[in-house]
Amino acid sequence: MDKVRLGIIGIGNMGTTHAKNISGGKVPGMEMAALCDISEQRAAYVKETYPEIPFFSDSHELITSGLVDVVIVAVPHYDHSTIAIDAFENGLNVITEKPAGVYTKQVLEMNEAAKKSGKLFGIMYNQRTNPVYGKLKQLIDSGELGAIKRVSWIITDWYRSQFYHDSCTWRSTWKTEGGGALINQNPHQLDLWQWLFGMPDRIMSHVSFGKYYDIEVEDDVTAFFEYENGMTGTYITSTGEAPGTNRLEIACDMGRVVVENNIISFKRNVVSEREFNKTNKLVFGCPECWDCKIPTGSQTEDQHVYIFRDFTAALLHGKKLLAPGEEGIKGLTISNAIHYSAWTGGWADVKNFPHDEFYRLLQEKIKNSTVVKKDIQITAGTEDTY
The answer to whether residues 135 and 162 touch, using CB atoms and an 8 Å cutoff, is no
Whole-Å CA distances, 149 to 145, 225, 249, 250: 10, 12, 11, 8
Q: Where are the alpha helices (H) located in 54-129, listed in sequence order?
A: 59-63, 79-89, 104-117
Domain edges within the chain: 4-126+302-324, 128-299+331-367
The answer to whether residues 36 and 59 touch, using CB atoms and an 8 Å cutoff, is yes
290 DSSP β-pair partners: 268
- Give the span between the Cα atoms of 208 and 220, in whole angstroms: 5
Bond prior to 243 in cis (omega within 30° of 0): yes
pLDDT of residue 373: 55
Query: How many other CB atoms sit within 10 Å of the CB of residue 67?
Result: 15
Architecture category of domain 128-299+331-367 in CATH: 2-Layer Sandwich (3.30)
State the distance between the two ends of the chain, measured CA to CA, in whole angstroms.
29
Domain 4-126+302-324: which CATH class? alpha beta
Three-state DSSP class for residue 58:
coil
The answer to whether residues 98 and 35 touch, using CB atoms and an 8 Å cutoff, is no
E-strand ranges in 227-354 read 232-238, 246-252, 255-260, 263-269, 289-294, 348-349
Q: How open is the CA angle 332-335-339, to the nearest 5 degrees?
A: 135
* pLDDT one digit per residue (tens) for the chain, 386 residues: 789 999 999 999 899 999 999 999 999 999 999 999 999 999 999 999 999 999 999 999 999 999 999 999 999 999 999 999 999 999 999 999 999 999 999 999 999 999 999 999 999 999 999 999 999 999 999 999 999 999 999 999 999 999 999 988 888 999 999 999 999 999 999 999 999 999 999 999 999 999 999 999 999 999 999 999 999 999 999 999 999 999 999 999 999 999 999 999 999 999 999 999 999 999 999 999 999 999 998 888 899 999 999 999 999 999 999 999 999 999 999 999 999 999 999 999 999 999 999 999 999 999 998 765 554 443 334 444 43
